[in-house]
Structure 1
Amino acid sequence: MIWLQMTANTGPAECCLAVTKALAQLGREAHKAGVSLSVVEQLAGPIGGTLRSVLVELDGAQEAVGALAGQWSGSIQWICDSPYRKMHKRKNWFLNGAAFAPPAVSVEHGEIRYEATRASGPGGQHVNKTDSAIRATHVASGLSVKVQTERSQHANKRLAAQLLLSKLGDLAKSEEGKQKSERRLHHFQAERGNAGRVFVGMDFVEKTR
């Protein structure tokens, strides 16, 4: 099992659209590889249908999961005319991916309150329109997270507990958490001209080298 985050960082709306398209492509590749994909957390972009960042869980055979995560780690380039600024000369947009191990769940279930809620926001097929989304609240601290996937409430509870544990860890070690965030922000910087994968056009077709 691996967590993979894809982000446009501080890039414009076109980069956020690239994240949405990358998520869809990742979903197709995961299905083909026999790897299950669940959206753990996502941050909407500045325009509807775009994502500033998305965190997904990849689960399945270790070799297949590792290979898929590796293909989406690092800088990714999308070559396309801007769909938002017709006269804009820029055609190269970048996003960045990074894989890491999810935290082990050790928070006692009695300390977490779960509430079923309706999924919302962009994400296409990865957003369930029923009330299977889960909001998990750590009773002692009041810290809360919301998880929405295509899976059952049981699966969402497990993901919510993992995400909540991660956030509680950062809360308990605030200074260390700040340093970790700074390192992560630097790591997620999209590098121009150093892309591991290149996609072209609105159909997001991979360019062969």
Structure 2
Amino acid sequence: MPTPEEITRHHDEGEVVYVGSYPTGYVVRIEEPDPTWPQRYAEIEGQISAVLGERLLAIQHIGSTSVPGLPAKPIIDIDLAVADPVDEAAYVPSLESLGLVHWLTEPDWHQHRLFKMLTEPRVHLHVFGPGCPELVRHRMFRDWLVDHAEDRELYAAAKRSALARLDARGDHPDGLGFGMRYNNVKEPVVREIYDRMFRASGLL
């Protein structure tokens, strides 16, 4: 189990190694809550469980599509834990057999591996090691938004505002870098909610 210090520490940008990423023409958009998103997650979870078997240590639906009533980019975010993310031979071929593309690696962020499935609704699969603090942070944030309507509404407004700001500045919502810029714009609100959540949980 990670320590409170590890859980509450925000990640600073580090090295990003692009692996199979390429421009797709995808246009970032925010959609109203869709009751089929949890069903899509359940389908993907079943497929991943089938191909990884005992190599799958943990899996969870995270991100905005996991929060009922929250507008979201129609992308199913999933956290996955394996014994060692660096040992790619142990799990990458199995994930690729499902149509997941190994998009990028972030060695400085707990050896994070990102995979994408580009069929709609899209899937972003985040691979970490066991006991990674990000698994705890993501679960806490999801559950906090489920239980706290005011912060859920605050976060929804921040998402819409971030998308509008980037578009108004002439940042086209496609290409490899738009998602990162979008996340940076809404980051102050995200950190405000995290701070409130951590304090209520006694971690700060």
Does TM, scored on the shorter chain, surpass 0.5?
Answer: no
TM-score by length of 2: 0.30
Superposition TM-score, scaled by structure 1 size: 0.29
> Which one has a larger percent strand, Structure 1 or Structure 2?
1
Higher helix share: 2
